[in-house]
Amino acid sequence: MSLQVRELLRHYGGVKALDGVSFEVPSGQCVALIGPNGAGKSTCFACLAGQQKPGAGEVVWRGQTLTALAPEARLALGVARTFQVAQTFEALTVLQNVQLVRAHAQLSWWDRLAARQATQALDVLAQVGLQAQAHSLVADLPYGAKKRLELAMALAGLPTQGERLLLLDEPAAGLAPSERADMMALVRRLADGGVTVLYTEHNMDAVFGVADRVLVLMQGRLVADGTPEAVAQDPQVRERYLGQDFDAKGLLDARG
């Protein structure tokens, strides 16, 4: 198993944001983490990516314990994340955003950013379909393009060799249905290309028909873990989250 999450605990006073959460994500799998607001999804992501430290438990990636490592150290080991609201540098161009991520460890104050790793940065932009906007200011982009750029920046920060893990916190949040479909098709292509993906999402069309597996968090505890088909029929998940009328068949059929 590439990612192993073991008995994560994170409490805020009397609130149990994470209450013994355990799961595994094999290499190359695309896994969705879903649940109602307040279920603990964002806290779980923050613990996996290093923005927060769990009160107990362990995060293991490729056999190495990450729990005490800072986000930068996790990135060097192949773990990157995105956020619910796209985090980009608005005053720079699309290309410069990616160049900055790729070159930040070696960038000195006298360097010209435009000269740093331009070819490699363009290759990353091509992966997310933004090569035509390479020289546009980020401030001028529509929000859907900014979400793609943030994904490109996450990819750019990862090592070029070895296994890679993307933690995507609501990659389709704020997108129109057509943009959402395009974004999730991109996420699926990355997984099919060998990148391990764990993502949170509230839009069920971005879950069923996209993910290989679905994890369901409720009140800090994992209550379901299985294929999309199995989770869609889970009585507790239907009663407490999806609703009894939820029909996943059309979403599942869309994947083919």
Q: Give tens-digit pLDDT for 162-197.
A: 999 999 999 999 999 999 999 999 999 999 999 999
pLDDT, residue 109, reads 46
In the chain, % of residues over pLDDT 70: 93
Q: What is the pTM of this model?
A: 0.92
User: What would the mean pLDDT of 66-87 be, rounded to a whole number?
Assistant: 94
User: What would the mean pLDDT of 121-142 be, rounded to a whole number?
Assistant: 96
50: which 2 tokens? 């290093």
pLDDT single digits (tens) 34-56: 999 999 999 999 999 999 999 99
Q: What is the CA angle 136-138-140, rounded to 5?
A: 75
Contacts for 82 with CB less than 8 Å, ≥ 6 apart: 147, 150, 151, 154, 166, 167, 168, 169, 171
pLDDT, residue 116, reads 60
* Residue 110's pLDDT band (cuts 50, 70, 90): very low
- Cα–Cα distance for residue pair 192/221, rounded to 1 Å: 29
* Residue 249's pLDDT band (cuts 50, 70, 90): confident
Residue 80 has φ and ψ, to the nearest 5°, of -130, 160
H runs (alpha helix) in 91-176: 94-103, 118-127, 143-157
pLDDT, residue 10, reads 96
* Residue 255's pLDDT band (cuts 50, 70, 90): low
